[in-house]
C-alpha cells in the first residue's frame, strides 16, 4: 500500500463525529494550459478542512509529496481535536478502542515524518 493510500485511510477512520462524503476525497490534478508543459496540484474540498489547494508542481511526485505532508498535519490536528473534545462540550464519547487506535495512527504518522527526514 502506498503512503497516500494509507494516509487517506487514516483520515477516513478519523471521520467519526460527522462528515460529508467530500471530506474523504483528495485529488492530484494534472493541468494543461496555454500549450505549456503540464503541471500538477493537489486539492481537497471538504467540510472539516474546507478547501485546500497546493501550488503547481512540475511533477506528479511534487504534488503527491505536498499532499502527503498536508495529510499528516491534518491527521495530527484531527486526532488532537478528537482527544480534547471527547467528553467535552461537544459530548463526543470515544471508546477506549478508538482512543487506542488514534494513538497508533498518530504514532505511525510520526514515524513517516522521521523516515522522510
pTM more than 0.85 = no
Nine-digit cell string for 91: 459530548
Nearest to 103 by CA among 80, 69, 86, 72: 80
Q: How far is it between the farthest Cα atoms of the chain?
A: 55
For residue 43, give every residue at least 6 positions away whose Cβ sits within 8 Å of its Cβ, in sequence order, or none: 26, 27, 29, 51, 52, 53, 54
Angle in degrees, CA 85, 86, 89, rounded to 5: 55
**If you ran DSSP here, which 8-state letter would residue 47 be given?**
S
Q: What digits encode the pLDDT tens for the residues 8-30?
A: 999 888 887 666 678 889 999 99
Categorize the per-residue pLDDT at 92 as very low, low, confident or very high, splitting at 50, 70 and 90.
Answer: low
Q: What digits encode the pLDDT tens for the residues 52-76?
A: 999 999 999 999 999 999 999 998 8
Amino acid at each position: 500500500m502506498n503512503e497516500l493510500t494509507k494516509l487517506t485511510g487514516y483520515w477516513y477512520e478519523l471521520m467519526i463525529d460527522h462528515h460529508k462524503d467530500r471530506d474523504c476525497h483528495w485529488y492530484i490534478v494534472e493541468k494543461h494550459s496555454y500549450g505549456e508543459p503540464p503541471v500538477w496540484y493537489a486539492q481537497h474540498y471538504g467540510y472539516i478542512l474546507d478547501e485546500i489547494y497546493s501550488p503547481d508542481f512540475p511533477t506528479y511526485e511534487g504534488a503527491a509529496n505536498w499532499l502527503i505532508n498536508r495529510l499528516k498535519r491534518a491527521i495530527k490536528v484531527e486526532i488532537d481535536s478528537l482527544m480534547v473534545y471527547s467528553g467535552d462540550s461537544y459530548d463526543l464519547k470515544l471508546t477506549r478502542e478508538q482512543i487506542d487506535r488514534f494513538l497508533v495512527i498518530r504514532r505511525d504518522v510520526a514515524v513517516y515524518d522521521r523516515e522522510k527526514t
